[in-house]
Structure 1
Amino acid sequence: MSQAQQVQQIQIHSKQNHNDVNSNQTTNKTYHQENNNVVRIDIQSYQNAENDGLLNQTNPIQTIVINQEEQQINKEINSINIKDQLLSGSDEEEKQKEMLMFQKPGTIDKGYVLYSDKLMEHLIADQEIQKDLINQFKFERETIWCFENEKNQSITQLEQLKVLCITWNMHGSMPQLCTNKLLRSDKIEHHVIVVSSQECLRSIPMSIFCESKQKWEAHLSNVLGNKYELVKSVSMNALHLGVFMVKDLVKYATAISIDQKATGVMNLFGNKGGVAISMDIGDKSYLFINSHFSSGQNNNERRNQDYQVISQSLNLPKYCQNPNESLFKRFHYIFWMGDFNYRIDAKNKEEVDELIKSNKYFDLLKRDQLMAQKKIGQVFSDFQEGLILFPPSYRVLDEQNKFTDGSDARIPGWTDRILFKQKIPDTIKLLNYESALDVFGSDHRPVFAQFLVKAKFTETFQPVIVRGSAACNIF
């Protein structure tokens, strides 16, 4: 962060029963970026509130951090004691309100983005916080990236993997010039890059006759260069999923398996559905899923059904000792991405256009169908998603950051999403959840997420036999 910037932290804390607090642990996590107006998240959990002089509603404290202008550069602003702020209210309701804390530039360590349905609901309801966040939703800004110019450590020294997940509905195209902006391999070294695409290379009807994605895989490999290797891929109709790794990591990828499930007409046609890859990387098991759910503004029930069919039908890993066990309990880490096609509930496009024109993106998020269906337990009930602080990824012009209009107009929406699930809490850390605003060639903008994932590797590593997968030995 430059010396010209100040940091404003808006803290949001939720009530928790003091009887559930059993330790003196304190954790601090902060998402850090150099750009102006980049959202950063800080979580500060205070355990044993009574011993610390805190009241029972103070755990956890969730903080949104936003870069500010130079207006206070010459002021000597010291960090305000959070405990004093918490105890200063006259009653419990007052203590639950948002508080401001100012801190000198450069004093916050790098940390992690918060993923919280409750926090998203709070943001949607709080207009004061929204004023500071609204620029995140504009097309006229640079795409945010983490890990730039950071060199990877030796694999055996790693405790965390840098994982990049991408989802992109390519609209039947083969974009040549902008893929490097999406993979960023010249500036960022991820350990694992997962590229999921829908309507890849060809339209869905054309993909029935020619399903091959070799050209796309060759293109991705060429852009990534000799540093990376395609470990596994799977295709179904216009769906494609590929997992790339830095070459030093490849030998640690074992017990690799693939599967697919069509959810088109009668659940037989692959125009909609999901493809998946499972594997062990070191001592952890992973599941990557790419899906294209049913389209249509008011087709939530069918989309929910697609989710259920895929989650109940994927047979991964093929050698699992407990085939009757829920898919979601078999893996340490699950990353599910795709064009889920959930839209914004609205009477017409004009209504949405007016809200966008007025920068009322949070009013649109109130109407996001996926959030609504997730909240009532219809889909992704055990999954987490990062805060959505980027413009709707659909439907935009192919070569311009502008929503479609005229006869080709559709209601914009956050159709393209990445959700994840972790078996053990705090083993996946989401650093960035963004839309690649500078990647053109489709009526969707790609959406990507960058993670740090807990991992372990040793010099004496020996590949496990197929039936020894970590996915079969979680419990």
Structure 2
Amino acid sequence: MQCLLREQPRSLALANREYALVFHSVPQNKNSLSVCIAEFVSLSEKPLDGFRRISNRPIYGTLGLIELENSNFLCVITGASEVARIREGERIFRITEVCFYSVNRPTWDHIRQEGNSLDTGDGYDSEAPGYDASRYTSEPFGSLRKLLTNGTFYFSLDFDITSRLQLRTSHAYTDLQSDTMHEQFMWNEFMLRQLFKFRSHLNSHEKDVMDACCFYTCVIRGFSGTEPFKLGMQNVRLSLISRLSSYRAGTRFLARGVDDDGNVANYVETETILDTPNYSVSFVQVRGSIPIFWEQEGVQMFGQKIDITRSFEATRAAFEKHFSDIIKEYGPVHIVNLLGTGSGERSLSDRLRQHIQYSPEKELIHLTEFDYHSLIRSFEDANKIRPMLYGDVESFSFYSEKRNGEAMVTQDGTFRTNCLDCLDRTNVIQNLISRMILENVMIHTRQNAGYDFWQIHSTLWANNGDALSHIYTGTGALKSSFTRKGKLSLTGALNDLSKSVGRMYINNFQDKGRQETIDLLLGRLIDQHPVILYDPIHEYVNHELKKRENEFSEQKNISIFVASYNLNGCLPTSDLEKWLFPDDNPMADIYVVGFQEIVQLTPQQVINADPAKRREWETCVKQLLNSKAKYGTNYVQLRSGQLVGTAMIVFVKESCLPSIKNVEGTLKKTGLGGVSGNKGAVAIRFDFEDTGICFITSHLAAGHTNYDERNHDYQTIANGLRFKRGRSIFNHDYVVWFGDFNYRISLTYEDTLYCIEQGKLQNLFENDQLNNQMLTGEVFPFFSELPITFLPTYKFDIGTDIYDTSDKHRVPAWTDRILYRGELKQTAYNSAPLYFSDHRPVYASYDASIVKIDKAKKKKLFEEIYMQRKVEVRDANSTSYTLIDISGSVAEKPNLIPYVPANGMDKLKKPSLDNRKWWFEDGLPARSIAARPGNDYQLNPDRPVNPFTPSKEPDWIKPEKCLTLENRQEQDPAVNSQSNPLHSLDASHPALIPQQSPSKPTKPSKPERLAAPRMKPALPPRSNPSSSNSTSLRSSPSNIPPTPPPRKSTNTTPQPDLLGSSPEDSKLTWKPLV
């Protein structure tokens, strides 16, 4: 890959032999955001005319874009050395040189950025011509360049270096996708953020090409190393990868404790990997600062005083978030606390112990406290901690997979080790834990590792400790000689003393600058924003494709039948037709059958589940399906899976097989904190045409009031189930989740039986734990369930319809449920009358709409819209190469391309305003304005407010027709009646305000104030129902309450009436009203 430059108009391009990623500069003003315009082009269609190479050096990867001193820089890797080869085809490189190229300014084009404190091995070192150390401070990117080339940043072009082996797939060695990368360990996420967004706008082919071309490179910080050696007659590799978290990154005394999001300082995931010709083994452990809020000064006369800055109550949320994230990622956690008994460290240990005691996850957290300084004097002394760790070393196990990618064993838990800095003491104990795991591997594989093997192992861990210590403190680890040789020596003690003095100087005089550079790289400085990449063409094309989806896709309906049964370890003793064929409806295209307790949950079965019973059920169900199928229709088993007692079998019509692809299965344990498979879930997913479907059957924690643990099981399964390419259960169009959820009814045994006998199922459902937990959003968000019309399915006396009559009197409950997510149409939901278990089986049927995309049509339509839009924009800009107008300034939300109407959009009317609507022809106003008959007319105040009320009053009158209150009351006492609603209006009402004449009126005389006291309406008299002469309230005139007098108008200007008046009216004189 090469970096090319075009000077006028200025553009940068990353190009290989076939494709190019082009960045166009955009002129900016002081108030605009940093913006570049991005294009992804095929060189066969659009050669890069006018571009030249910036440098002769090859480019290994792209770190991203960053704004420095009002310039947008593209950062690329120009020097790298291979440091590790994890497995065949999985290489890791260390960054030795980077270059920054400005997208929008030529200021730094003449500067040679070739030369660095690390020898790259190709002639570019600190003695090379053109190297000037002063440029590290004079150039805006100098400090960043120094940080990125200090030997602690690593990348891979072959696999996702941010994810551990257990999360990666066997076929994904060269499949780098931004969607599956672990953001926590990605140190250039800020620089790549907009590039990932740009990638999301591309079509699937362009995404694959962009991924393969390595136009973006994800970088970790920490350590990577591999040592090859002979184990018996086999050539094997031992590797170590440490990934430092970027979430609370910083230097020793500026990053301590936890933040409000649960991220801790110096949090590192370290993975030990043993690769052999037949299998690969991986084990992951973590380290990190004590997860409470605490600080420590750098220079103190009598040691470093520890200051706990928040109370226990104010720390709980962050503490619980931290361990919740670890448990969600790895499973149960064993904390190895190496703090001493001094006053400062003891206070941290006391607070840690207190938080664990009150943690809701305490069942999954095991704490071992080991005072390292007082107990360890030699390497042999470190073995004192072995008995405290051995139990979880066995139970957590390790991850192992065959050469074809099939997992044999999975790691189900991790160790979290800490001391004060999580450096020297921590590295020694993590080295010991890693050794204990590898010893287990040797026992299981019946191999013998000699002295040389363990020496290589210790050397890798010593190098790891030095690297992590350099990052956090600026010097190597203090106890590296102890780790390498297994003993303390005088030379090692003197080296540790020298490193301690160096740490003191660096931590107190250089850490602030180092911290600012780290924050700059991670995008955490105040007012720092990512460089925005604008891609107008693809945004428009994707929008058009979504609108025209029906042109390249078609839909068809399929039917799905889902059934669930807790077998209580039994085999079928009765006909299953009532369960699998409850109606006379046509048979479904897909049958999914889930079982719980397919075997008795004995310790022997939990340790080594017997698949024999599952195979019997597979045969039984398949024979029944084919016996009921019509002639010519055949059902085949698509896939099955089993986790101890939980199992799932999927059958499909043979005619559907050509439409089904990408079939995968996975398991998740939740029993005993994720270690045991007596509880857990089995999931199977596949694509039916271009629609993703996922089925999960699960058996959750038991116990009448134990719904919190069931909620936790749900969270563990929902977040922990992963298919290939990092796909979760929620990355599907349709999800059906069913099984024995074990949620109970929160009523007594007697009350529940009474509601069942009375048929009051609604009362039971209102007390159903699953229903209530879903309403509060604790579990199954966005899942649906049809109304339950069947009786509780648990617990029966076996062989009868009688609920539990044993001494325990278990409360009947709907433990067996079927939920779904997505636009499925559910057509049935019921239980079946089978009696050979203490549960009743349930079933549900669905109609699903399947989308089939004609990829050739979609690609052709994409190209048509794309080329059409390119022509439109090019014509609008009148430029030969650039697709976008790059002249002028850019505002905060830039309009970077001229408006090019499409599909007749230029014929649309102008938008409506308050006084004009586009649907009124010839410029008619938006509001109707009533015209007066003449200037000497005004609205009649005696006219009813409702214009549809019949009235003899004219709409307009002349001013002389208006009477003062006294005259009107003298001449017409009925004016106060209820028939005149205008009298109750406020004086400001438009109907009571006389209109001004356009001509200037004569100045009126001072108005006479007339008293108009407020009057409360009188209550109507009560009618005597016993009186024979009583009349109805509606017909009795005496029952009409008097109306208060109208408010007087404050307008003193006489206004002409608009209608003619009678001779009597003309005799009345104008009198101003108040």
Give TM class, smaller chain: 0.5 to 0.7
Q: Deviations over 1:307-330 (max 9, x none)?
A: 0000000012x124xx5xxx3541
Q: Hey, what does 2:844 align to over in structure 1?
A: 449
Unaligned stretches of 5+ residues in structure 1: 1-156, 463-475
Q: Does residue 554 of structure 2 align to residue 190 of structure 1?
A: no
Q: Hey, what does 1:428 align to over in structure 2?
A: 824
For the residues of structure 1 that align with 2:573 and 2:588, how far apart are their CA atoms?
21
> Deviation of residue 221 (structure 1)?
1.2
Q: Hey, what does 1:178 align to over in structure 2?
A: 575
Summarize the alignment of residues 195-214 of structure 1 with structure 2, pairs less than 5 Å apart.
Answer: 195-203=593-601, 205=603, 207-208=605-606, 209-212=608-611, 213-214=614-615
Q: Is the 1:233–1:243 Cα contact (8 Å) retained in structure 2? A: yes
Summarize the alignment of residues 385-424 of structure 1 with structure 2, pairs less than 5 Å apart.
Answer: 385-407=785-807, 409-422=809-822
For the residues of structure 1 that align with 2:827 and 2:583, how far apart are their CA atoms?
20
Q: Does residue 561 of structure 2 align to residue 164 of structure 1?
A: yes
For the residues of structure 2 that align with 1:406 and 1:268, how far apart are their CA atoms?
32
For the residues of structure 2 that align with 1:405 and 1:232, how far apart are their CA atoms?
39
| SS, match of residue 820 in structure 2 | strand
| Inter-CA distance 369–376: structure 2 relative to 1 (3 Å threshold) | same
Q: Does residue 837 of structure 2 align to residue 439 of structure 1?
A: no
Q: Does residue 637 of structure 2 align to residue 254 of structure 1?
A: no
Q: Hey, what does 1:373 align to over in structure 2?
A: 773
| Inter-CA distance 162–408: structure 2 relative to 1 (3 Å threshold) | same
Q: Percent identity?
A: 30
Q: Of 311, 314, 319, which residue of structure 1 is paired with 2:725? A: 319
Q: Hey, what does 1:294 align to over in structure 2?
A: 701
Q: Is the 2:744–2:815 Cα contact (8 Å) retained in structure 1? A: yes
- Counterpart of 1:262, as a letter, is K
Q: Deviations over 1:271-302 (max 9, x none)?
A: 00111001101120011000000000000100
Q: Of 276, 279, 283, which residue of structure 1 is paired with 2:683? A: 276
> Deviation of residue 392 (structure 1)?
0.4
Q: Of 732, 738, 755, which residue of structure 2 is paired with 1:331? A: 732
Q: Hey, what does 2:756 align to over in structure 1?
A: 356
Q: Hey, what does 2:33 align to over in structure 1?
A: none
- Counterpart of 1:168, as a letter, is Y
| SS, match of residue 345 in structure 1 | coil
| SS, match of residue 449 in structure 1 | strand
Q: Is the 1:167–1:337 Cα contact (8 Å) retained in structure 2? A: yes
> Deviation of residue 158 (structure 1)?
7.5
> Deviation of residue 407 (structure 1)?
2.1
Q: Does residue 631 of structure 2 align to residue 218 of structure 1?
A: no
> Deviation of residue 449 (structure 1)?
0.7
For the residues of structure 2 that align with 1:406 and 1:174, how far apart are their CA atoms?
23
Normalized per residue, which structure has more strand? 1
> Deviation of residue 443 (structure 1)?
0.8
Q: Hey, what does 1:6 align to over in structure 2?
A: none
Q: Of 701, 710, 718, which residue of structure 2 is paired with 1:303? A: 710
Q: Deviations over 1:357-384 (max 9, x none)?
A: 2322211111000000011111012111
Q: Is the 1:194–1:243 Cα contact (8 Å) retained in structure 2? A: yes
| SS, match of residue 319 in structure 1 | helix
TM-score by length of 1: 0.59
- Counterpart of 1:304, as a letter, is N
Q: Hey, what does 2:291 align to over in structure 1?
A: none
| SS, match of residue 673 in structure 2 | helix
Q: Is the 2:609–2:643 Cα contact (8 Å) retained in structure 1? A: no
For the residues of structure 1 that align with 2:783 and 2:635, how far apart are their CA atoms?
29
Q: Which of the two has higher C-alpha Rg?
A: 2
- Counterpart of 2:572, as a letter, is P
- Counterpart of 1:455, as a letter, is I
- Counterpart of 1:439, as a letter, is L
Q: Is the 1:204–1:237 Cα contact (8 Å) retained in structure 2? A: no
Q: Is the 1:171–1:442 Cα contact (8 Å) retained in structure 2? A: yes
Q: Is the 1:200–1:238 Cα contact (8 Å) retained in structure 2? A: yes
| SS, match of residue 802 in structure 2 | strand
| Inter-CA distance 403–313: structure 2 relative to 1 (3 Å threshold) | same
> Deviation of residue 185 (structure 1)?
9.2
| SS, match of residue 365 in structure 1 | helix
Q: Is the 2:609–2:645 Cα contact (8 Å) retained in structure 1? A: no
Q: Is the 1:211–1:236 Cα contact (8 Å) retained in structure 2? A: no
Q: Is the 1:403–1:412 Cα contact (8 Å) retained in structure 2? A: yes
| Inter-CA distance 298–273: structure 2 relative to 1 (3 Å threshold) | same
TM-score by length of 2: 0.26
For the residues of structure 1 that align with 2:603 and 2:592, how far apart are their CA atoms?
25
For the residues of structure 1 that align with 2:672 and 2:841, how far apart are their CA atoms?
27
For the residues of structure 2 that align with 1:369 and 1:254, how far apart are their CA atoms?
38
For the residues of structure 1 that align with 2:773 and 2:808, how far apart are their CA atoms?
27
| Inter-CA distance 201–354: structure 2 relative to 1 (3 Å threshold) | same
Q: Deviations over 1:406-439 (max 9, x none)?
A: 32531000011111111xxxx3101111111x22
| Inter-CA distance 172–206: structure 2 relative to 1 (3 Å threshold) | farther
Which protein has greater RCO, CA pairs closer than 8 Å, 6+ apart?
1
- Counterpart of 2:725, as a letter, is Y
- Counterpart of 1:388, as a letter, is I
For the residues of structure 1 that align with 2:829 and 2:582, how far apart are their CA atoms?
18
| SS, match of residue 812 in structure 2 | coil
| Inter-CA distance 378–360: structure 2 relative to 1 (3 Å threshold) | same
| Inter-CA distance 158–185: structure 2 relative to 1 (3 Å threshold) | farther
- Counterpart of 1:194, as a letter, is V
> Deviation of residue 251 (structure 1)?
2.2
For the residues of structure 2 that align with 1:362 and 1:185, how far apart are their CA atoms?
24
| Inter-CA distance 303–186: structure 2 relative to 1 (3 Å threshold) | closer
Q: CA RMSD in A?
A: 2.4
Q: Is the 2:601–2:678 Cα contact (8 Å) retained in structure 1? A: no
| SS, match of residue 454 in structure 1 | strand
> Deviation of residue 396 (structure 1)?
1.7
> Deviation of residue 457 (structure 1)?
5.4
Q: Deviations over 1:187-223 (max 9, x none)?
A: 5410001101100144454633443021111111111
Q: Deviations over 1:75-125 (max 9, x none)?
A: xxxxxxxxxxxxxxxxxxxxxxxxxxxxxxxxxxxxxxxxxxxxxxxxxxx
> Deviation of residue 334 (structure 1)?
0.5
Q: Does residue 635 of structure 2 align to residue 228 of structure 1?
A: yes
> Deviation of residue 390 (structure 1)?
0.8
> Deviation of residue 340 (structure 1)?
0.4
For the residues of structure 1 that align with 2:624 and 2:774, how far apart are their CA atoms?
36
Instruction: Tell me the matched-pair count.
Output: 294
| SS, match of residue 390 in structure 1 | coil
For the residues of structure 2 that align with 1:360 and 1:314, how far apart are their CA atoms?
38
Q: Does residue 643 of structure 2 align to residue 245 of structure 1?
A: no
Q: Is the 1:211–1:235 Cα contact (8 Å) retained in structure 2? A: no
| Inter-CA distance 222–263: structure 2 relative to 1 (3 Å threshold) | same
Q: Hey, what does 2:490 align to over in structure 1?
A: none
For the residues of structure 2 that align with 1:158 and 1:180, how far apart are their CA atoms?
31
